[in-house]
Amino acid sequence: MRIIGTAGHVDHGKSTLVKALTGTNPDRLKEEQERQMTIDLGFASMDLSETLEVGFIDVPGHIDFIENMLMGVGGIDAALLVIAADEGVMPQTKEHLDILDLLHVRRVIVALTKIDLVDKEWLVLVIDDVENFLNHRGFEEVPVIPVSAKTDSGLDTLKQVMHDVLFEAPDRKDYDHPRLFIDRVFSLAGFGTIVTGTLIDGSLTKGQKVEILPSGSSARIRGLQSFNAERESSGPGNRLAINLSGVAVNELSRGMTIAAPHSYAPTSRIDVSFRMLPGLKIEIVHNMEVKLFHGSSQTQARIRLLGEEMLLPGQNGILQLELDQAIAARHGDRFILRRPSPSRTIGGGEILDPFPAKRHRRFDESRLSILKSLQQAGQEKIVEHIIREHGRISGADLSLYAMLPAELLSIQVEALVSENSIQVLNENNSNPNILDSIMIHATAYDQLLDRLQRILTVFHSQNPYLRGGTPEVIRSRLKLDQRTFQFLMQKAFNLGLIKEIAGKICLADFEISLGDKDRKKVNELMALIKSDPLRTPSVADILSEYGENILNYLKDQETIIQVSDQVIFAKEDYEKMSERLVKELQVRGAMKVTDVKELFPTSRKYILAFLEYLDGVGVTQRRDEERILK
């Protein structure tokens, strides 16, 4: 199926022409039929040939309903621009063509209607005027077909031209991520909730579970129809009516999106390229409030203007848009911006990044360069951009943000790895799963190495007498998950940036260097400890007399063992005590504190600290008032 959207000024005969072509009046509302003026979107279909079915989306032409028009032209293959022969080009003709241009709808056919109301000489003048109008706006070689819905004159020619234009249109890209923008919601007795829209990409199947975005609610497809024809499944580009179960009519509205579960993440911040229409009497300025039209949705947005103080009519720029309501967007989607009051289309463009990780600095040239490079970018570059934006990202999140299934994502990731643009961390190296992997961009990897070295430099300056930090201390300061941290450590070891001593991590060139004064303190303290091994000075006394650096140095060198907050032993004395106690317990089976005190003539404070430490390291365990070997 191919989709044609009508466009043109009010009362130029769009709906009448659609009815003459299809036999269906697209004006479904009673008010529309009574006023003979389209207010909301209308739909009809016809077969142009045995192999080509076309669906029509008839849009309002009146200035008051331009925003309804915008919600219907997001998924069309071609536009039928309707211009009345007796009036020619009018204000909404111009605005509708501007909108088509901004949405990159380049397949346009002009139906010059109401030719039964003008003579031949006037018709020639109008055709010439219309062609000049189109050429001036960059729409060259657009077929202009004179028709009359009243006499059927020219309708066969128009059908043939539509067939030729649509037949040459390329098939819709199928990203295997179905997305349908809802443009109508209603209910029918015996069926329940029904939504309609154009399926943009991917396929939907009867019985399939779907997700409603941005709400995140779930539903199931009870039935699929395309212009009253039942379907078991449908691919991209088709107009669909979907009967949903599990969701009420009042939970849905125009502008929402039907998608496969967990295939799209709603976003309320987007980076875009923007083209401002010429001939306007306003400027685009930072923090300006506008209306964003994307798919069938509209939402208030605030402009963050990047790289410029303002944009003048006819200029291009890069914007970051902060949205009041989230949308389901992907790279390459087109959008329109309108000024809220007085209402007027001011421009449009392409979404470059639907998931920017943060608000950009306005005049960051490197950021602007990156965003500009995303214009016309291939999928591989988009995947790399997402990884670079986040620094490191899980495969599951990357699949969601890039909107690629695992198979296609793997291809893109492999290409980036071969270019040394990214590194991939697999949890299971023998049978890696892309969705369970972690991707690190080369720039983020370099930044992590720099951070590691800075953190160790600071650690060494703060702890000059420690050999290094424990892995957990360093990992916590880097704020990394265990897998990324292990990867970084291995790379840093291989590059000769760090070394490990007794389980401590330090810079490769770090060496502890005691000054003469501190060396003297160390020798004095160790002599004091050895002078009475079972009644050593308290930690408080050591800190007061010798300082924290000396205590930490001896602990880090494992010259002493701190068994409680106040009790230390020389390591060799602690080991002798432990060995003797273990031998006694092997013989006796169990010992009380008083029994242990008989082995080691010292105060109860030292004995309790010693035993509780042994309990903690798993040598002994307490059973009632006794200790046994663990």
pLDDT tens-digit readout, 383-426: 999 999 899 999 999 998 988 888 889 999 999 999 999 999 88
pLDDT at 60: 62
Beta partners for 500? 505
pLDDT at 67: 67
Does residue 174 form part of some domain? no
Residues 319 and 347 in one domain: yes
Structural domain ending residue among the three candidates 238, 259, 280:
259
Does residue 529 form part of some domain? yes
Instruction: Please say if the pLDDT value at position 72 is more than 60.
Output: no
In this structure, the number of other CB atoms found within 10 A of the CB of residue 137 comes to 15
Contacts of 537 (CB under 8 A, 6+ apart): 525, 528, 529, 545, 568
Contacts of 267 (CB under 8 A, 6+ apart): 323, 326, 327, 328, 329, 354, 355
Residues 15 and 158 in one domain: yes
Structural domain ending residue among the three candidates 463, 482, 513:
513
Residues 134 and 190 in one domain: no
Instruction: Please say if the pLDDT value at position 35 is more than 50.
Output: no
pLDDT at 205: 95
Q: Indicate the helix (H) or strand (E) that contains 416.
A: helix 406-418
> What CATH number does the domain containing 565 carry?
1.10.10.10
First-to-final CA distance of the chain: 76
> Among residues 27, 123, 29, which one has the least CA distance to residue 84?
123
Region 297-320: mean pLDDT is 95
Does residue 172 form part of some domain? no
Region 53-73: mean pLDDT is 66
Per DSSP, 547 falls in state -
Does residue 619 form part of some domain? yes
> What CATH number does the domain containing 13 carry?
3.40.50.300
pLDDT at 429: 62
Q: Please write the tens of the pLDDT for every residue from 258-275.
A: 999 988 989 999 999 999
Q: Please write the tens of the pLDDT for every residue from 486-502.
A: 989 999 999 999 998 88
Region 355-382: mean pLDDT is 90
Per DSSP, 39 falls in state -
Q: How confident is the model at residue 62 (pLDDT cuts 50, 70, 90)?
A: very low
Q: How confident is the model at residue 65 (pLDDT cuts 50, 70, 90)?
A: very low
Of 20-34, 303-317, 449-463, give the lowest mean pLDDT range: 20-34
pLDDT at 71: 63
Q: Supply φ then ψ for residue 196, to 5 degrees.
A: -125, 155
Of 32-46, 152-166, 337-351, give the lowest mean pLDDT range: 32-46
Residues 414 and 502 in one domain: yes
- Owning domain of residue 56: 2-167
Residues 529 and 506 in one domain: no
> Among residues 253, 183, 172, 241, which one has the least CA distance to residue 212?
253
Instruction: Please say if the pLDDT value at position 66 is more than 80.
Output: no
Residues 195 and 273 in one domain: no
pLDDT at 576: 95
The larger pLDDT score, comparing residue 276 to residue 69, is at: 276
Residues 252 and 277 in one domain: no
Residues 88 and 194 in one domain: no
Q: How confident is the model at residue 74 (pLDDT cuts 50, 70, 90)?
A: low
Return d(Cα 453, Cα 557) in angstroms, integer: 23
Beta partners for 134? none
> What CATH number does the domain containing 341 carry?
2.40.30.10
C-alpha dist (Å) from residue 33 to 16, 227, 517, 574, 596: 11, 21, 100, 98, 102
Question: Model's pTM, two decimal places?
Answer: 0.76
Residues 308 and 249 in one domain: no
Go through the chain and tell me how many residues it has.
630
Residues above pLDDT 70, as percent of the chain: 94
pLDDT at 467: 84
Does residue 9 form part of some domain? yes
Instruction: Please say if the pLDDT value at position 34 is more than 90.
Output: no
Q: How confident is the model at residue 602 (pLDDT cuts 50, 70, 90)?
A: very high
Structural domain ending residue among the three candidates 209, 233, 259:
259
Q: What share of the chain is helix, strand, coil (3-state, %, to 5)?
A: 35, 30, 35
**3 state SS of 302:** strand
Residues 419 and 529 in one domain: no
pLDDT at 352: 94
pLDDT at 37: 43
Q: Please write the tens of the pLDDT for every residue from 534-569.
A: 999 999 999 999 988 888 889 888 899 999 999 999
Cβ 204 vs Cβ 180: under 8 Å: yes
Return d(Cα 347, Cα 284) in angstroms, integer: 10
Strands 78-84 and 2-7: parallel
Does residue 583 form part of some domain? yes
CA 96 to chain CA centroid, nearest Å: 31
Contacts of 428 (CB under 8 A, 6+ apart): 436
pLDDT at 340: 87
Instruction: Please say if the pLDDT value at position 173 is more than 80.
Output: no
Residues 23 and 149 in one domain: yes
How many distinct structural domains can be found in the chain? 5
Q: Please write the tens of the pLDDT for every residue from 133-167.
A: 999 999 998 999 999 999 999 999 999 999 999 98
Does residue 173 form part of some domain? no
Does residue 11 form part of some domain? yes
Return d(Cα 408, Cα 398) in angstroms, integer: 12
Q: Please write the tens of the pLDDT for every residue from 202-244.
A: 899 999 999 999 999 999 999 999 877 899 999 888 888 999 9
Cβ 96 vs Cβ 8: under 8 Å: yes
Q: Average per-residue pLDDT in the chain?
A: 89
Residues 331 and 241 in one domain: no
| Tokens found for residue 68 | 């309804």
Region 39-63: mean pLDDT is 75
The larger pLDDT score, comparing residue 471 to residue 29, is at: 471
